[in-house]
């Protein structure tokens, strides 16, 4: 009743004082009471148009409609290009390219005639759905990678990638992943192309992006005079994983994080926008918000100072020529500093 908590008579204990009718009116309460709100939700749930199964079916039908709109226009474009013998891909299919290839350009022309097709194709289409479903089917199991190289009519080398695996149902599946343009067929080129296609190599892409941003930051710092050159300075660094048994390794982790903090934020933004799964998007978003908070920066510097003092003390206590009095003095000095 309101903000007060009553008995559990109408919930679990049961109601036995039937002669006290006022208890029912008190329980029902006003318009905004818990009873009336619950009653309203129950009535809404029992309405056919708002039932859970109806809502789910309506959402499923909407998704089917979007899928069929994408599939229908894709088949039209594919038939046209196959009939005329024209190449599908372009030299530069990036968003900023003036000519992204016949498949995309024809699709762009068709989608301008229909709002339904426009809202469900190209940049408005769901991303990485096929790869996500395949990854869920494979799970933690093994899989084979089938790679074949060929040249199209324009003598442009293409690499086809197919995944070969056995899902939980027990029968063999082969799923086409995509076509990738390659400049040559060397093992390094093919490896890099495969890394770009599979979501399973997202961590490698993040590390490469982190190194690239760090090198760019050092280059700009050297050019502007903010950084100095010298032996052992400005060496390439990356994030260090903290060890489970050596607590001193946490200092190395914090040190690398503080050096690469701006670059780490860039990588988090990349994962937030381009991550392979919804969980990656959400996790990167939460970490990014926390990293930008005053609370995190304060804790980062505080823990770094504490670990720095403790690691320094630990190294001094491991000296073979250290006597007990000097060790006790070091411990007292460290405690006072803390």
Q: Judge residue 73's burial from the number of C-beta atoms within 10 Å of its C-beta, 0-12 exposed, 13-18 middle, 19 or more buried.
A: buried
Whole-number pLDDT of residue 78: 92
Which of the residue ranges 275-279, 298-302, 331-335 would you say has the lowest mean pLDDT? Answer: 275-279
Whole-number pLDDT of residue 235: 53
Please determine, for residue 25, whether its predicted confidence score (pLDDT) is greater than 80. Answer: no
Q: What is the pTM of this model?
A: 0.36
Please determine, for residue 2, whether its predicted confidence score (pLDDT) is greater than 50. Answer: no
Q: What is the mean pLDDT of residues 130-148?
A: 81
Q: Which residue has the higher pLDDT, 232 or 246?
A: 246
197 near 178, Cβ under 8 Å?
yes
241 near 253, Cβ under 8 Å?
yes
Whole-number pLDDT of residue 146: 87
Please determine, for residue 222, whether its predicted confidence score (pLDDT) is greater than 60. Answer: no
Q: How confident is the model at residue 319 (pLDDT cuts 50, 70, 90)?
A: confident
The closest alpha carbon to 197, from 227, 161, 237, 167, belongs to 161
Whole-number pLDDT of residue 93: 74
115 near 85, Cβ under 8 Å?
no
Q: What is the mean pLDDT of residues 175-181?
A: 81
Whole-number pLDDT of residue 201: 47
Give pLDDT tens digits for 247-276. Answer: 667 787 888 788 778 777 877 777 777 665
Give pLDDT tens digits for 33-91. Answer: 877 888 888 877 777 666 666 666 776 777 778 888 888 888 999 999 999 988 887 77
Which of the residue ranges 5-14, 263-272, 305-314 would you say has the lowest mean pLDDT? Answer: 5-14
Cα distance from N-terminal residue to C-terminal residue, the chain: 52
Q: How confident is the model at residue 127 (pLDDT cuts 50, 70, 90)?
A: low
What is the Cα–Cα distance from 294 to 313, expressed in whole angstroms?
A: 29
Give pLDDT tens digits for 181-198. Answer: 777 778 888 887 787 777
Give the angle 291-219-271 at the CA atoms, nearest 5°: 35
Which of the residue ranges 92-101, 159-168, 169-178 would you say has the lowest mean pLDDT? Answer: 92-101
What is the Cα–Cα distance from 200 to 22, expressed in whole angstroms?
A: 65
Whole-number pLDDT of residue 100: 83
Q: What are phi and psi for residue 92, nearest 5 degrees? A: -135, 105
């Amino acid at each position: 009743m309101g903000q007060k908590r009553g008995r559990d008579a109408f919930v679990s204990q049961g109601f036995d004082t039937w002669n006290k009718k006022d208890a029912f009116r008190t329980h029902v309460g006003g318009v905004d009471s818990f009873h009336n709100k619950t009653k309203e939700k129950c009535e809404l749930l029992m309405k056919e148009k708002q039932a859970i199964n109806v809502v789910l079916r309506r959402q499923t039908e909407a998704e089917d409609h979007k899928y069929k709109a994408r599939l229908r226009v894709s088949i039209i474009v594919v038939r046209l290009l196959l009939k005329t013998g024209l190449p599908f891909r372009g030299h530069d299919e990036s968003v900023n390219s003036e000519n992204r290839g016949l498949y995309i350009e024809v699709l762009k022309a068709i989608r301008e005639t229909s709002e339904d097709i426009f809202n469900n194709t190209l940049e408005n289409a769901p991303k990485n759905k096929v790869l996500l479903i395949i990854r869920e089917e494979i799970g933690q199991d093994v899989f084979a990678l089938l790679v074949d190289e060929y040249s199209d009519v324009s003598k442009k080398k293409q690499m086809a990638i197919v995944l070969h695996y056995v899902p939980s149902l027990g029968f063999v599946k082969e799923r086409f992943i995509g076509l990738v343009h390659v400049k040559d067929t060397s093992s390094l080129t093919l490896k890099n192309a495969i890394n770009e296609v599979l979501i399973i190599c997202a961590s490698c892409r993040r590390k490469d992006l982190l190194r690239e941003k760090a090198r760019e930051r050092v280059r700009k710092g050297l050019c502007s005079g903010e950084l100095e050159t010298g032996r052992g300075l400005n060496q390439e660094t990356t994030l260090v994983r903290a060890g489970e048994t050596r607590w001193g390794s946490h200092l190395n982790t914090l040190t690398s994080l503080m050096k690469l903090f701006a670059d780490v934020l860039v990588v988090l933004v990349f994962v937030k926008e381009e991550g392979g799964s919804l969980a990656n998007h959400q996790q990167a978003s939460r970490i990014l918000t926390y990293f930008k908070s005053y609370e995190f920066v304060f804790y980062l510097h505080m823990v770094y100072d504490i670990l720095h003092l403790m690691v320094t003390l630990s190294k001094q206590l491991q000296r073979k020529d250290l006597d007990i009095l000097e060790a006790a003095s070091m411990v007292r000095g460290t405690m006072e500093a803390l």
